[in-house]
């Protein structure tokens, strides 16, 4: 019945991007529910083609469906079936098979045990209860040889990039403990950043040894899907659609990346996969899942490099700079923003360059480096004034007049230049687009804080601060964003000297009521 339902859904999907979303939905209906459960039965010690073929039969999937389920090419599965025990998948692929087995239900586990016993390969099975909780490498670290540090390496090989990215996506779906438990300070990003800066251009992106043919239309459908996820993130926060984005990456995006395509289509495909990967990382960042976010950012950097897109790689580093600045790692934030600016200097459009400079300025403002912050802001203003309509990549579309003034407002607020902070936050709000609800909420809270942070006590206005922050209350209820909570906490800390004022007490009661029902998965 479920397969019939999927076919009916596909028949009524008129537009190409809707077909992609429906295919993604069908795949999640068929396979996704098992991803959240762990079955405490036997697992496979080492995979050969024979064990892989037995798993396919135990799952009762076709060769193509099994390839999608594991995250490998159809040809790879056919190769396993042909050679059986004579072939052993490489370590990273063994890790993907481990995860595929963990996603199987209990009945499939029992069928696998029966099949392997009948084949005389029962020695492949370990004792029940020894299923590993993460995808390990030879040394027990997550991710295998292509991502031995758990998705925190810069990779130049496209095959390694695909394996490392899929390992991350699958582990995220399986809610692997190491994704959230491991601390990943910003300093870990500096070595991959340096390797990206000096990396040679990648080889052509085309693949011809796969059975699924990928067209420019397929890429455009994924791009349309990415835009939908971006809009959902901006309007409702990172907690609204992050799980769906990960499912889409591991399902439709992974299937396309393993397909056959020309060089041009391949470059565009890797680029749009990088966009969705960094956007999924940004959603994790918005939920304060910082270690997970950093792994996504580095995988996005790898995918952008595989696409040969230097400005897009710079965008990823700019996001990493934004996160480092939020976490108080200011010097690393400066380094990451400057790497983005210099690494993509001759390729970036003026809008993109202005964004890099704004990230650099924000980190310098947090350090209190007024002189260099002003220099970065001047460079950003000059670049932003040279924008030309139609020349920018689609992923910089959010960086409009409102966003530019929002960045300036953040910088001046950090420098405690309250007059300029109020000017630029005011301009940001006046140019505001309803799509960017979360950004405007941040902007209102920064503006509210500026009203009470002037070095001159006579210029502080507690009443206006509370009124401005209260305007943000209308948006908070629909935002699944832990960063909003952090901004609110910081503003409340600024009100501490005025806690006994009735207006502050009333505001804090309203704010508590607005935030109480908000929860982020």
User: Crossing angle, helix 482-494 and helix 437-450, to 10 degrees?
Assistant: 10
Instruction: Find out whether 77 and 56 touch, Cβ atoms under 8 Å.
Output: yes
Q: Which tens digits make up the pLDDT trace of 426-464? A: 999 998 877 899 999 999 999 999 999 888 887 889 999
Return the higher-pLDDT residue of 24 and 368.
Answer: 368
Name the pLDDT band for 34 (thresholds 50, 70, 90).
Answer: very low
**Domain regions of the chain by residue span:** 1-36, 39-121, 160-347, 436-521
19-46: average pLDDT = 48
Overall average pLDDT of the 67-86 stretch: 83
pLDDT value, residue 516? 61
Kindly report the average pLDDT of the chain as a whole number: 84
H helix runs in 119-260, sequence order: 158-173, 177-181, 190-198, 216-236, 242-248, 254-257
pLDDT at 242 over 80: yes
- What is the pLDDT, as a whole number, of residue 501? 93
Higher per-residue pLDDT: 60 or 322: 322
Question: CA dist 323 to 163, 330, 375, Å?
Answer: 25, 10, 22
387-402 tens-digit pLDDT: 998 899 999 999 999 9
- Ranges 141-155, 199-213, 341-355, 379-393: which has the least confidence: 141-155
Q: Which two tokens stand for residue 30?
A: 């068929």
Of 1-5, 65-69, 402-406, the least confident? 1-5
3-state secondary structure 332-384: HHHHHHHHHHHHCCCCCCHHHHHHHHHHHHHHHHHHCCHHHHHHHHHHHHHHH
By the 10 Å C-beta count (0-12 exposed, 13-18 middle, 19+ buried), 119 is classed as middle
% pLDDT > 70, the chain = 83
């Amino acid at each position: 019945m479920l397969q019939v339902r999927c076919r009916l859904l596909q028949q009524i999907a008129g537009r190409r991007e809707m077909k992609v979303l429906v295919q993604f939905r069908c795949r999640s209906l068929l396979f996704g529910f098992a991803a959240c459960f762990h079955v405490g039965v036997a697992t496979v010690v080492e995979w050969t083609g024979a064990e892989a073929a037995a798993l396919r039969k135990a799952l009762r999937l076709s060769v193509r469906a099994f390839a999608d389920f594991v995250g490998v090419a159809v040809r790879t599965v056919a190769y396993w079936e042909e050679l059986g025990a004579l072939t052993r998948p490489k370590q990273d692929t063994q890790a993907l098979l481990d995860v595929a087995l963990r996603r199987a239900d209990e009945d499939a586990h029992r069928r696998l045990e029966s099949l392997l016993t009948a084949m005389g390969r029962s020695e492949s099975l370990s004792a029940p209860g020894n299923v590993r909780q993460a995808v390990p490498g030879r040394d027990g670290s997550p991710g295998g040889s292509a991502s031995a540090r758990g998705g925190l390496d810069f990779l130049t090989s496209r095959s390694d990039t695909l394996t490392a990215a899929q390992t991350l996506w699958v582990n995220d779906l399986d809610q692997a403990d190491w994704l959230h438990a491991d601390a990943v300070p910003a300093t870990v990003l500096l070595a991959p950043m340096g390797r990206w800066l000096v990396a040679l251009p990648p080889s052509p992106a085309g693949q011809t040894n796969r059975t699924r043919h990928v067209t420019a239309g397929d890429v455009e459908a994924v791009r349309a899907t990415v835009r939908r996820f971006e809009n959902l993130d901006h309007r409702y926060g990172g907690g609204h659609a992050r799980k769906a984005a990960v499912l889409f990456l591991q399902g439709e995006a992974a299937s396309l990346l393993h397909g056959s395509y020309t060089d041009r289509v391949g470059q565009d495909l890797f680029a749009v996969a990088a966009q969705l990967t960094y956007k999924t990382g940004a959603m994790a960042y918005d939920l304060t899942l910082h270690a997970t976010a950093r792994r996504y950012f580095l995988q996005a950097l790898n995918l952008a490099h595989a696409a040969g897109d230097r400005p897009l790689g710079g965008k990823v580093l700019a996001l990493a700079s934004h996160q480092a600045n939020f976490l108080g790692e200011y010097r690393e934030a400066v380094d990451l923003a400057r790497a983005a600016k210099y690494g993509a200097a001759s390729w970036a459009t003026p809008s993109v360059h202005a964004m890099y400079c704004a990230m650099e300025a924000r980190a310098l403002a947090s350090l209190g480096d007024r002189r260099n912050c002003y220099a970065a802001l001047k460079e950003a203003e000059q670049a932003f004034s040279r924008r030309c309509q139609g020349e920018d990549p689609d992923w910089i579309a959010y960086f409009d007049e409102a966003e530019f003034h929002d960045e300036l407002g953040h910088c001046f607020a950090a420098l405690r230049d309250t007059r300029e902070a109020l000017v630029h936050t005011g301009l940001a709000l006046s140019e505001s687009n309803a799509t960017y609800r979360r950004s405007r909420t941040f902007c209102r809270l920064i503006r509210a804080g500026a009203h009470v942070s002037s070095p001159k006590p006579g210029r502080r206005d507690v009443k206006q601060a509370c009124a401005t922050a209260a305007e943000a209350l209308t948006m908070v209820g629909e935002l699944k964003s832990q960063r909003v909570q952090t901004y609110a906490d910081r503003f409340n800390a600024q009100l501490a000297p005025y806690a006994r004022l009735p207006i502050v007490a009333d505001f804090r009661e309203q704010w508590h009521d607005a935030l109480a029902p908000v929860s982020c998965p």
